[in-house]
Amino acid sequence: MSYFSIAWQWLTSDQQWHGGDGIPVRLAQHLQYTGIALGIAVIIALPAGLAMGHLRRGGFAVVTLANFGRALPTLGLLVLIFVLTSGSVASWLVPLAFLAIPPILVNTYEGVLGVDADLTDAARGMGMTEWQILRKVEIPVAMPLILLGLRISAIQVVATATIAAYIGLGGLGRYIIDGLARREYNVVAGGAAVIVLLALAIQGLFTLLRWLIVPVGLRRQTQVS
């Protein structure tokens, strides 16, 4: 029997949609972990990226943090913080939030930094304040890259929240961890399918946001570049 057949049978079984271990409960847990971690990352990284991009400063710090974030072993960080904090909320929140910060920070910084200087000079010539330039000129132009950073972070956190089940976290990762432990490979296949569908849904959501928020001219310019 193929992987898709096993996953489909598990997904269409009525018992998978009820109870504390049902898909709706696990999905809600997964979205909760993802939303909290992503929200904290946005609060930290988005203002920092906007400020450093507008001031044209901090490029070295941005690159350093991005490289450090890519090199960091996420599962190792999860286990380490779990041990140090005795399994507190920080054991999963800190690694997930830290993982989400670099893409948001880097793309926001690069997006604002890449705004044509002629646009900002013209805005200053019209008497705009620095805050008005950032809000009315730089952020709209940088929006494609800002959304890209948010999308990358969201998908990375969704994927990493899956392996966080290794330290006892709930969510969709429980299907994979528990299924492997019990050798119930239909559970593993079905859980993996739900995670993939969730990642695709997030991808589709950000594609829709890009279509709704970013002006047509900027969308075409981004696709060409």
Tokens in use for 43?
């609060």
Q: Decide if 169 contacts 32 (C-beta within 8 A).
A: no
Whether 218 has a pLDDT exceeding 80, the answer reads no
Q: Decide if 143 contacts 80 (C-beta within 8 A).
A: no
Number of domains in the chain: 1
Whether 225 has a pLDDT exceeding 50, the answer reads no
Specify the 3-state DSSP secondary structure of 27. Answer: helix
Whether 100 has a pLDDT exceeding 80, the answer reads yes
Model pLDDT, residue 219: 60
Look up tokens 């000129």; give the residue: 137
Whether 72 has a pLDDT exceeding 50, the answer reads yes
Tokens in use for 25?
């409960």
> Tens digits of per-residue pLDDT, 187-209?
999 999 999 999 999 999 999 99
Tokens in use for 112?
């604002």
By CB neighbour count within 10 A (0-12 exposed, 13-18 middle, 19+ buried), where does 21 fall? middle
Model pLDDT, residue 217: 64
Residues in contact with 162: Cβ distance below 8 Å, sequence separation at least 6, in sequence order: 30, 171, 172, 173, 176, 195
Q: What are phi and psi of 73, to 5 degrees?
A: -75, 110
Q: What are phi and psi of 9, to 5 degrees?
A: -60, -40
CA distance 204 to 206: 6
Model pLDDT, residue 62: 82
Model pLDDT, residue 224: 41
> Tens digits of per-residue pLDDT, 102-142?
999 999 999 999 998 898 999 999 999 999 999 999 999 99
CA distance 139 to 53: 10
Specify the 3-state DSSP secondary structure of 214. Answer: coil
Whether 69 has a pLDDT exceeding 80, the answer reads no
Model pLDDT, residue 220: 57
Model pLDDT, residue 54: 92
Q: What are phi and psi of 108, to 5 degrees?
A: -65, -45
Q: How many residues does the chain have?
A: 225
Model pLDDT, residue 154: 95
Section 70-74 average pLDDT: 71
Model pLDDT, residue 131: 92
Q: Which value, to the nearest 10 degrees, does the dihedral of the CA atoms of residues 210, 214, 218, 222 take?
A: -20
Specify the 3-state DSSP secondary structure of 94. Answer: helix
Whether 221 has a pLDDT exceeding 70, the answer reads no
Structural domain harbouring 206? 3-224
CA distance 126 to 21: 60
> Tens digits of per-residue pLDDT, 154-179?
998 998 888 888 887 889 999 999 99
